[in-house]
Structure 1
Amino acid sequence: MSAHDRWYVYRGESKEPNDLLFTVKRSSMIQFKAKLHVFLANNTEEEVCDFKVEGSWSERSCVVYAGDSPNIVARMYKKTTAQSVLFGKDNFSVTVYPNVDYAFIIALIVILDDINKESGAE
């Protein structure tokens, strides 16, 4: 994360500019629900985001959209099971649509979790 609420995601352990995969930034500084804009490494102008994440960690749900469109590429939501109720362990279901990289979606969910921990909204 940078001082400007921006997350940089690189290939492996690298921090080299040519290994940058994508960046994520909050759409605004003050948010009641998370709204993140995702820019792939080749989108240097950042006029339009490549993906958008909207959700609420407190509700344990989010939706990932393709660009600034209504086209959904992935969803995450809390799954209530007997085990989660009895043992207090959260279970999640993540639906990733065809032709979307699973690791990319998980990385976005990890960033959303990191934002939640920073805001103290656990």
Structure 2
Amino acid sequence: MSLGDSWLVYKGESTSTNPLLCVRKSMNILNNKCLAYVIPGDNTSNRSNNVVYEIEGSYSQRSCSVYDDRRRLAAEIKKKESVNGGVAYGNDIFRLVVQPGHIRTDFAMALVILLDQMFGSSRR
């Protein structure tokens, strides 16, 4: 669900519960590496210092890193590369690498879906 430049993540398909996460598109011109930041869903009123994940990189190049609140790498989105060479994959083929213990895999995939909503071909 989009609220301008904020997206809420719920468990399942019901919006009757509190959101798990709120993902906000970064508008900070001083930190142009940051694409978006993630805060707990129950704190949607302001950013404050409750950032649990920060997403940096370039989604159009499928080269993004997700950092946790202690700046540890939690997940990465990388272009799929051919093992034998000679095969060119499009931007729709990529790898999501999740670091165990730093982020849940379902949260990481939700972030990919939201990045596509924010920066994907449908937004150009």
Shared topology, TM-score over 0.5? Answer: yes
Count of residues in Structure 1 that have an aligned counterpart in Structure 2: 116
Question: SS at the partner of 1:80?
Answer: coil
Tell me the CA shift for residue 78 of structure 1: 0.1
Q: TM-score, with normalisation over the residues of structure 1?
A: 0.78
Tell me the CA shift for residue 88 of structure 1: 4.6
Q: Which has the larger displacement, 56-65 or 110-119?
A: 110-119
- Whether the 8 Å contact between 1:80 and 1:91 is mirrored in structure 2 is no
Whole-Å separation in 2 of the counterparts to 1:84 and 1:33: 29
- Residue in 1 that maps onto 2:106: 103
Runs (5+) with no aligned partner, structure 1: none
Question: SS at the partner of 1:39?
Answer: strand
Question: SS at the partner of 1:108?
Answer: helix
- Pick aligned residue for 2:95 from 90, 93, 96: 93
Question: SS at the partner of 2:100?
Answer: coil
Following superposition, which runs of at least 4 residues in structure 1 exceed 6 angstroms of deviation?
29-32
- Which amino acid letter does the alignment assign opposite residue 11 of structure 2? R
CA RMSD of aligned residues (A): 2.6
- Residue in 2 that maps onto 1:72: 73
Alignment of 1:17-96 (within 5 A): 18-28=17-27, 35-43=35-43, 46-48=47-49, 49-67=51-69, 69-81=70-82, 84-85=87-88, 88=90, 90-96=92-98
Give 1 or 2: higher helix fraction.
1
Q: TM-score, with normalisation over the residues of structure 2?
A: 0.77
